[in-house]
Amino acid sequence: MLGINPLRLAVLAAISLPGLVHAAETTQVADQVALMEQAKSQGIAGIAKKTLPVDARPAVVGEIVVTRILGEGVETKSKPAEQGDWVVRNHCPETGNEQYLVKATKFPKRYGEPQSKPDAEGFSAFRPIGQDMNYFIVSNQQGDFHFTAPWGEEMVAKVGDAIVQTPSDTKDTYRVAAAAFKCTYEITKPAKE
């Protein structure tokens, strides 16, 4: 059946994508939340938490943060920042110390209080609170796929990347580039491959 594995086919069949033509040579479109549910039901999801310190600064209202991964280019673009949102910068040279926008409601639950005074650019040091996150690694069998991130931007998940999910908010399921996941997350329960 065009080399599409049953997991991906089941997910594609379960979601409605009007007018989308799938071909074996194109990247598939998938529902990352449904993929996570299948990974959990099949016992191949693990648990990890972000542990590497980050820098963060208050976002400027209306600011759009472009997340660039070293060697890959643009990963995603945020929606315009709203009052209270934060720009977070990873300490991960392997990925180019990528930056991303975190909503005001999520930031304190993920990063807590600043660990330093702001620098000249307004960044302070923060230590992730270390919330347990569900995750699975995109396998060769699943292949690369496109999906819509929780903030509305299209993302591409590539083989080797992690799909992570906040357990208390299953819609908060998104891609973490393979290098960023290895650099910034600590695995507490390994995912089965």
pLDDT score at 12: 36
Q: What is the pLDDT of residues 92-143, one digit of tens each?
A: 999 999 999 999 999 999 999 999 999 999 999 999 998 899 999 999 988 9
Least Cα distance to 179 among 93, 75, 88, 111 occurs for 93
Residue 104 to residue 81: CA distance in whole angstroms: 9
Using only C-alpha atoms, the chain has a radius of gyration, in whole angstroms, of: 17
Model's pTM, two decimal places?
0.78
**Selected residue with higher pLDDT from 5 and 189:** 189
Pairs from 3-7 (Cβ < 8 Å, separation ≥ 24): 4/28, 5/141, 5/142, 5/143, 7/35, 7/38, 7/141, 7/142
Percentage of residues in the chain having pLDDT higher than 70? 85
CB 104 within 8 A of CB 82: yes
**DSSP letter assigned to residue 97:** S
**DSSP letter assigned to residue 6:** H
SS3 of residue 12 by DSSP: helix
Can you tell me the mean pLDDT for 141-161?
89
Can you tell me the mean pLDDT for 39-54?
94
DSSP 44-71: --EEEEE-S-EEEEEPPTT--PEEEETT
- The CA angle 66-17-43, to the nearest 5 degrees, is 80
